[in-house]
Structure 1
Amino acid sequence: MPSAASAASDSGRPVPPSLWRDSDFRRLWAGQTASQLGEHTGLVVLPLLAVLTLDAGAAQLGALRAAGQAPILMLSLFAGAWVDRWRTRTVMVLTDAGRALALAAVAVTCLPGGLGLPALVVITFAFGALSVFFDVAYQASLVRLVHPGLLVRGNSALEGSRSAAQMGGPALGGALVSLLSAPIAAGAGALFFALSFLSIRRIRGDESTPGRLERPARIWRRIHDGVRCVAGDAVLRTVCLASAAFQFSFAAVMTVHLLFLPRELHLSGTAVGLALAATGPGALLGSVLAARLPDRFGYGPVLVAAAAIGDGVFLCVPALPGSSAVTVPVLLAVAFVFGAGGQLVNVAIMAVRQAVTPRGMQGRVAATITFVGMGLSPLGSLLGGLLAAQWGLRTGLLVAAAAMMSSPAVMAMSPLARLGRTLPAPRSTPPG
C-alpha cells in the first residue's frame, strides 16, 4: 500500500489532515449523493411506470429489469480497462449528463400515444449502461483522491450518502408516480443528475493524463490482467463469488417483490416507495457500524454475520397478509434490517477489496467483480419473473429469498471469514 508521502506525490497536493477538509472529496461526495438520489429515484420510477402505467406483467417486468442490468454483463470489463486510462472526473460528468437525458426521455413514453414499453426498455438499457461507467469511475476516483489511511472513512461517507439516497429516492419516486405524473417523476431524477454533473466537474485533482484509446489487443490484455488479479487472490475471488450469489438471487427477489407489494399486498405507489425507502435509515446505521465493528470484531466475522442477518430477514416477507395493520410496519422493519446489514457488508467489503488491490488495478478489479458479481443480475431478473408467473408471487418470492442465503454461506467457507481487524496489503505490483 502506498505511503502518505507517495499518495501526496501521486495526487500533486499535500495529504489533508481531515477527509472533509479535502475540497475534491467534498465535491465527489456531493456529486455522488445527487447521482445516487437520481439513480434510486429512477430505479423505482421505471418499473412502477411499467407496472402501474403500462400494465406490464411478470415476464415483461423481468425483461425490463434485465435490460437495465444487461450492460453490467456486456460493458463492465471494458469500463474497467478504459477508466484506468481516463480521468475519472471526465467519465462521471459524461455519464451524469447521459443519464439526465435518458430520464428526461422517459416523459415521451408516458404521453398519450407515446412510445410505450419497447421505448422504456431501450431507455432502461441506456440508463444501465451509463451507470456501469459511473460506478466503476467513482470507485477508482476515491482511491486516487484520498490518502490510503482514509479509505474506510471515505467509503463510509460515500455509502452513507447512498443510504440517504436509498431512503429519499424510492419515497420520492413512488410518491411522484402515484400522486403527480410520470414526467415529473422522471424529471426529478434528471435534475439530480444535473446537480451531480455540476459538482463533479469542479474536481481539480491532478490525475495522470490518459493516453489515446489503445488497440483492441492491448485493451484485451488489460482486461485479462484485471481478471487474473481477481482470480489469483483468494480474498478478491471470494468477494467476486459472494457478490455473484447475492446479486443473482437479489435480482430475482426484487422482480417478484415489485409485483408482490402492489398486487398481492395491494399497496399504493406511495406505500411501495416508502417500504423500499426504509432501507435508507437502516443503511445509514450500517454505514456508522462499518466504521466501528470491523476494528472491534474483525472484518471476517462482521461480514459473515451482517450478510446472514441482512439477507435472511427477507424470508419474512412472503408470509405477510394483505390489507393487514401489521403489513406495512413489518415491511419497514424488514427493509431497515436489510439496509443495515447490506450497507455494513458493502462498506467493509469495499475497504477490503480496495486494500488488497494494487493501486494501478483499481478500475479493472472493480469492473471484474462487477462483471461477475452483477453480470448475473439480468438472469436473476428473468428467473424472478418466471418464478412469479409459474409458481405464484408468494412461492416465487420465498424461493428467491431463500437463494439469497447462498452469499453469506460462500463467505463463511472462505478465507474472507478469517480476516481480522487489520486490512490486508496488496498481493503484488499490478502487471503491465
Structure 2
Amino acid sequence: MPSAASAVSDSGRPVPSSLWRDGDFRSLWVGQTASQLGEHASLVVLPLFAVLTLHAGAGELGVLRAVGQAPILLLSLFVGAWVDRWRARTVMVVTDIGRTLALGAAAVAGLLGWLGLPALLVVAFAVGALSVFFDVAYQASLVRLVQRDQLVRGNSALEGSRSAAQIVGPALGGALVSLLSAAAAAASSALFFALSFLSIRRIRRRESMPEHSERPSRVWRRIHDGVRFVVRETSLRTVCLASAAFQSSFAAMMTVYLLFLPRELHLSGTAVGLALAATGPGALLGSMLAARLPGRFGHGAVLVSAAALADGVFLCVPALHGSPATTLPVLLAVNFVFGAGGQLVNVTVMAVRQAVTPDGMQGRAAATITFVGMGLTPLGSLLGGFLAQEWGLRTSLLVTAAGMMLSPLLMALSPLARLGRILPAALGSGDGNQDTAEN
C-alpha cells in the first residue's frame, strides 16, 4: 500500500499526509461537528418538551424515545447495503437537507401551537431515520477519503467533534426549551443541520470506491454477505453482542434518568442540559486518550477497562439526594467520567472495525453492528418507562445501570480483550458482487 504522502485520490488529486491540511477532511469534520450538534440538541429538546411542556408520563416518554430509535432496527441493514453502492457524500448531504426540513416543520408547528405529542412522534421518527443514513455514511466516508494508517487519527478527530457537540448540544437544547420555546429549540437544531449540509457539499475529492461487478446483486444478498462477514469475524461479533447489551440497557436507563433528574432531584431543564453536557468534555478527553492508550497498552485492555469505568459510574446515581446545588456537581462528574470512558471505547472499537473490514464491506459492517447493537434500543426505552411506572425511579435506575455492566463483561470474556497494540489487517479485499457506485 502506498504511503499517505504519496497517495492520490480517484480524481488524481494528491492526498495530504496531514489530515488538517486536507480541505476535504476539514469539510467532513466541520459538517460532522454541526450534524452532531444538531442531533444532540434535538435528543434533549424533544424529550424535555414532552416532559416539561406536555407533561408526558413515563410511558409516553418511553414511546417517544422508542419511536426515535425504531429506524435503527428497521433500516440499518438496508442502509448499509445502499451506502456501499452510493457516494457517502451524497447520502450525508441529502440527509442533512431532510433533517433541516423535519425540524424546521416542527418549529413552524410550535409557533402555530400544533406541536403536540403526535407531531413530536412524527418528527422523532423522521430525524431518527435520516440520522441512520448519515451515521452509516460518515463512518464509510472516512475510509474512502484517507489512508488506513490515518484511520485512528481521523476517527479521533471526528469523535472529538462529536465530543464538542456533546458539550454544547444538550446545554443549548435544555436552555432553549426552558427559556424560550420548543419552536426555538427545534429551529436551532435545523440550523445546525443546514450548516452541516453547506460544509459537506464542499467535499470535492472522488471517494476511493471498491470495484463492483457489472451486474448488480440483490439487496438481500448484499445484506446477507454483510451479516455473514460480521458473524464470522470474532472481533466484530463480540462488538455486536457487547454493544447490544450496553445500548439496550443504556436506552432503558436514559428513559428513567430523564425522569429522575427533574422529578426526583428537582433539576430545571437548564440544569438537566448542563448535567448531560458534561459528557462532552469527558468525551473530548476520551478522544485524545484514544490516539495514545491503545498503542501503548493494547486495544483489548483499553476497551475492557474503559467500558467498565464508563458504565459502572452510573451505579452511584440512584443514591443521590439533596438540593440541586448538592447533586448537580456529582452529576457533572458522573457524566464526565462516562463521556471519557465511553468515547475511548467508541474510537477504539471504530478503529478495530475499520481495520479488519475490507473497503467493499465498510457500509454493511457498520450497519450490521448498528442494527445488532442498537436495534434493541426501542425496546430498552419502553422497558425503562415500564420499570419507572412499576418499580419507581430509584430502583429502576439502579437495575438499568447494572445492566450496562454486561458490556465490559462480555468483552472481557472474549478474544477481543486480547487484542494487542497493532490492529489486525482486513480479511480480504472486499465483495465483488456490488453494484457500480451511484452519485
Equivalent residue, structure 2, for 1:310: 310
Identity %: 78
CA drift of 1:119 comes to 1.2
Q: For 2:127 and 2:215, how far apart are their aligned partners in 1?
A: 27
Counterpart code for 2:347: V
**Partner AA of 1:93 in structure 2:** V
**Residue 104 of structure 1: CA displacement?**
1.4
CA contact (8 A) 1:87 1:210 kept: no
2:239·2:369 contact (CA, 8 Å) conserved in 1?
yes
Partner of 2:122: 122
Residue in 2 aligned with 1:4?
3
What whole-Å deviation, never above 9, does each CA across 1:98-151 have from its counterpart, x for those lacking one? 111111122244346415101110110000000000000000000000111110
Matches of 2:281 and 2:138, distance apart in 1:
23
- Pick closer, same or farther for the CA change 1:176–1:424 going to 2, 3 Å: same
Question: Hey, what does 1:372 align to over in structure 2?
Answer: 372
1:65 equivalent in structure 2: 65
Describe the shift of the 1:353–1:209 C-alpha distance in structure 2 as closer, same or farther (beyond 3 A).
Answer: closer
Task: Give the CA deviation at 1:247.
Answer: 0.6
Instruction: Work out the CA distance in 2 between the residues paired with 1:122 and 1:217.
Output: 33
Distance 2:365 2:103 in 1: 29
CA shift in 2, pair 1:217/1:361, >3 Å: closer
Q: Give the match for residue 396 of structure 1.
A: 396
Amino acid in the other structure paired with 2:38 = G
Whole-angstrom CA distance in 2 between matches of 1:108 and 1:124: 15
Q: Distance in 2 between matches of 1:273 and 1:109?
A: 23
**Structure 1 residue 427, shift from structure 2 partner:** 1.7
Q: Deviations over 1:151-184 (max 9, x none)?
A: 0000000000000000100000001111111111
Which whole-Å CA distance do the structure 2 matches of 1:109 and 1:50 have between them? 14
Deviates further, 4-13 or 156-165: 4-13
Question: Is the Cα–Cα contact under 8 Å of residues 301 and 418 in structure 1 kept in the other structure?
Answer: yes
Hey, what does 1:287 align to over in structure 2? 287
Q: Which runs of 5+ in 2 are unaligned?
A: 434-439
**CA contact under 8 A between 2:104 and 2:186: conserved in structure 1?**
yes
Change (3 A) 1:105 1:215: farther
Match of 1:94 in 2: 94
Q: CA RMSD in A?
A: 1.9
Aligned residues of 2:109 and 2:183 also touching (Cα < 8 A): no
Residues 73-119 of structure 1: per-residue CA shift (max 9 Å, x gap): 00001111111111111100110011111111222443464151011
Question: Does 1:223 pair with 2:192?
Answer: no
Cα distance in 2, alignment partners of residues 404 and 350 from structure 1: 20
CA contact (8 A) 1:4 1:15 kept: no
Could you tell me whether the CA contact under 8 Å between 2:106 and 2:115 is conserved in 1? no
- Is the Cα contact below 8 Å between 2:9 and 2:207 reproduced in 1? no
How much has 1:217 moved relative to structure 2?
6.6
Aligned counterpart, 2:437 = none
Shift of 1:396: 0.6
- Which residue of structure 2 lines up, in the alignment, with residue 14 of structure 1? 14
Aligned 8 A contact 2:81 2:364 in 1: yes
Q: Which residue of 1 aligns with 2:265?
A: 265
- Separation of aligned partners in 2, 1:318 and 1:269: 19
1:163 aligns with 2:166: no
Residue 149 (structure 2) aligns with: 149
Shifted more, 336-345 versus 239-248: the winner is 239-248
Deviates more, 1:154-163 or 1:321-330: 321-330
Aligned length: 430
Q: Which 5+ residue runs of structure 1 have no aligned equivalent?
A: none
* Mean CA deviation greater in 203-212 or 62-71: 203-212
Instruction: Give CA deviations for 1:249-287 in whole Å, capped at 9, x if unaligned.
Output: 000011000000001100000000000000000001000
* Distance (whole Å) between structure 2 residues aligned to residue 290 and residue 339 of structure 1: 12
Q: Which residue of 2 aligns with 1:197?
A: 197
Aligned AA for 2:245? A
Which residue of structure 1 lines up, in the alignment, with residue 255 of structure 2?
A: 255
> Using the alignment, how far apart are the partners of 2:312 and 2:65 within structure 1?
23
| Residue 174 in structure 1 maps to residue 171 in structure 2 | no
Confirm or deny: 8 A CA contact 1:242 1:410 kept in the other structure. yes
Using the size of structure 2 for normalisation, the TM-score is: 0.95
Equivalent residue number for residue 48 of structure 2? 48
Structure 2 residue identity aligned to 1:316? C
Q: Does 1:350 align with 2:350?
A: yes
SS in 1 for 2:272: helix
Amino acid at match of 2:297: F
Q: 1:296 to 1:211 in 2, by over 3 A?
A: closer
Give me the whole-angstrom Cα distance separating, in 2, the residues matched to 1:171 and 1:83. Answer: 33
Query: d(CA) in 2 for partners of 1:262 and 1:59?
Result: 16
Q: Distance in 2 between matches of 1:325 and 1:50?
A: 25
One-letter code aligned to 1:40: H
- What is the Cα deviation at residue 68 of structure 1? 0.5
C-alpha contact 1:87 1:208 (8 A) present in aligned 2: no
Q: Distance in 1 between matches of 2:66 and 2:106?
A: 18
